[in-house]
A and B are shown apart, each in its own frame.
Chain A
Amino acid sequence: MLLPKFDFLRPTSIAETCEILDEYGESASLLAGGTDVLVNLKRNLIAPTHLVGIDRITELDEVRTTKGEIQIGSLATATALAENRTLKRRLTILARAAGGLGSPMIRNRATVGGNLVTARPAADLIPPLMVLDATVHLADSTGTREMPVDRFVTGPGETRIKTNEVLTHVSVPRCEPGTGGVYIKFGARHSCEISIVSVAAFVTLTPAGRRIKEAKIALGAVAPKPIRCPRAEELLAGAAPGKKAFTKAGQAAARASKPITDHRGSARYRRQMVDVLTRRALVAACQAAREDLAGRAR
């Protein structure tokens, strides 16, 4: 497959990137890892006159820990997320999800920013970022703005980013003690897989570990965009972690899903899997939260 014709620009800073975007607007496309953009170009799904290679802008490449939050530069690759020591320990759910994205070679190029802006319904990093309450940070030539991940993604391949904006980083608030998060990617194979269903569950237990203080659930591949499940989350808040609460939550999550039937699975099958996988994710997330409490008590 041949790539169509385009000019290639390589800015070295965010400011320079914004200037280029101001000039070319919609006819320009940002290029980071290229695992989606180059495929879409080859398939003639997009036809920018200019590709703006941002993959060497070092200010977009940093993972930083501040007092209250962890900031992840948009150019951080899936491999970087999966192997970063801080993320493995503090944002385990995100690091593990990144470690299961695509294939090893894709992970060496695909970036967190790319996963967010391409906004596929089955995007592997979005459900974990949703349950972690992540914030997306955008910049243009006049300034910056931010919004929750859930608000940023609006539909399949659709987000609130404007044609003159760059996604600079995502920030995740520091987790309190007694938290555990699990991401289940469910597909027909282990590698190069687009999920049939994915579930992210994030649980905070009370200090004694007897009750669920707060639970967050996000689903992938079962709606036009990854979705949260507010009803299931309400049912879990204050409940004792166990079969009864998890069964109710699984059913509520299944009701919240709006899957379609396609070659990867029928809508009915997907909805049933949401139920099953939500329960499994909650069991594992509560276990991780208990281990977190035990680890901190030691």
Chain B
Amino acid sequence: MKKLQIFIRVNGEDHELLVAPNRTLTDVLREELDLTGTKHGCDEGECGSCTVLLDGDPVNSCLVLAAQADGRDITTIEGVANGSDLHPVQRAFVDQGAVQCGFCTPGMVLTAKALLDKKKRPTEHEIRAAVSGNLCRCTGYQKIVDAVQAASRGKTGAGR
């Protein structure tokens, strides 16, 4: 199994890595780059807890080989806040109580961010459709939808 050299940009930082071909993007983010906000869930693309943005689009990082990410731009949950200044979606999740156990939250936030990057004022239906691949077993989704809607309307506590 020949290792492969890859270049990836993660949260704005360039990395040159030597990876085994059978490592997924989830594995490399967590184990090589210590970005453990990306969760290992079902590992089969059903639950969405491993969601990252690949060139801006949400994907299940458990179903992307690290080698396939060569040359691509990746955003993980660690790259969403600006220092200690939370992203409006994160702020809204806190304000609306959209986080319970928190395991789905990184994926939810990234998917919601990707949606709002494309569409400033999505409808409730569009929000529900966008997060439909991110499973939450705690909240029943209502507070998550409320949070995304609040973020889209600029109604977050941080005043931005």
Q: Interface on A for B, CB 8 Å cutoff?
A: 1-8, 10, 31, 33-35, 38-39, 42, 51, 53, 55, 79, 102-106, 108-109, 190-192
Q: Interface on B for A, CB 8 Å cutoff?
A: 1-2, 4, 21-24, 43-46, 48, 51, 54, 57-60, 62-65, 67-68, 70, 111, 129-130, 132-133
Q: Point out the residues of chain B lying under 8 angstroms from A39, CB to CB.
A: 44-45, 63
Q: Point out the residues of chain A lying under 8 angstroms from B132, CB to CB.
A: 103-104, 190-192
Q: Point out the residues of chain B lying under 8 angstroms from A2, CB to CB.
A: 22
Distance in angstroms from A193 CB to nearest chain B CB is 10
Q: Point out the residues of chain B lying under 8 angstroms from A55, CB to CB.
A: 68
Q: Point out the residues of chain A lying under 8 angstroms from B44, CB to CB.
A: 1, 39, 42
CB pair A53 B68 closer than 8 Å: yes
Which one of A4, A106, A190 lies within 8 Å of B60 (CB-CB)? A106
Distance in angstroms from A120 CB to nearest chain B CB is 14
CB pair A105 B58 closer than 8 Å: yes
Which one of B23, B46, B64 lies within 8 Å of A34 (CB-CB)? B64
CB pair B133 A104 closer than 8 Å: yes
A10 to B69, CA, bound (A): 12
CB pair B22 A103 closer than 8 Å: no
Q: Point out the residues of chain A lying under 8 angstroms from B21, CB to CB.
A: 6-8, 51
Smallest Cβ-Cβ distance to A37: which chain B residue? B63
Distance in angstroms from B31 CB to nearest chain A CB is 12
Query: Nearest 10 A-B pairs (CB), nearest first?
Result: A103-B133, A191-B132, A8-B21, A3-B22, A105-B133, A5-B1, A1-B43, A108-B57, A105-B60, A34-B63
CB pair A38 B4 closer than 8 Å: no
Q: Point out the residues of chain B lying under 8 angstroms from A7, CB to CB.
A: 1-2, 21
CB pair B22 A105 closer than 8 Å: no
CB pair A109 B63 closer than 8 Å: yes
Q: Point out the residues of chain B lying under 8 angstroms from A106, CB to CB.
A: 45, 60, 133
Q: Point out the residues of chain A lying under 8 angstroms from B48, CB to CB.
A: 103, 105
Which one of B54, B63, B129, B130 lies within 8 Å of A38 (CB-CB)? B63
Distance in angstroms from A27 CB to nearest chain B CB is 14
Q: Point out the residues of chain B lying under 8 angstroms from A103, CB to CB.
A: 45-46, 48, 132-133
6 A-B pairs with C-beta separation under 8 A: A34-B63, A34-B65, A103-B133, A105-B51, A109-B59, A109-B63
Which one of B4, B22, B63 lies within 8 Å of A5 (CB-CB)? B22
Q: Point out the residues of chain B lying under 8 angstroms from A1, CB to CB.
A: 43-44
Q: Point out the residues of chain B lying under 8 angstroms from A53, CB to CB.
A: 65, 67-68
Distance in angstroms from A84 CB to nearest chain B CB is 15
Q: Point out the residues of chain B lying under 8 angstroms from A190, CB to CB.
A: 132
Extra 13 A-B pairs, beta carbons < 8 Å, given A38-B62, A79-B57: A3-B24, A7-B21, A8-B4, A8-B67, A31-B68, A34-B64, A38-B24, A53-B67, A103-B45, A104-B58, A105-B58, A106-B45, A109-B63
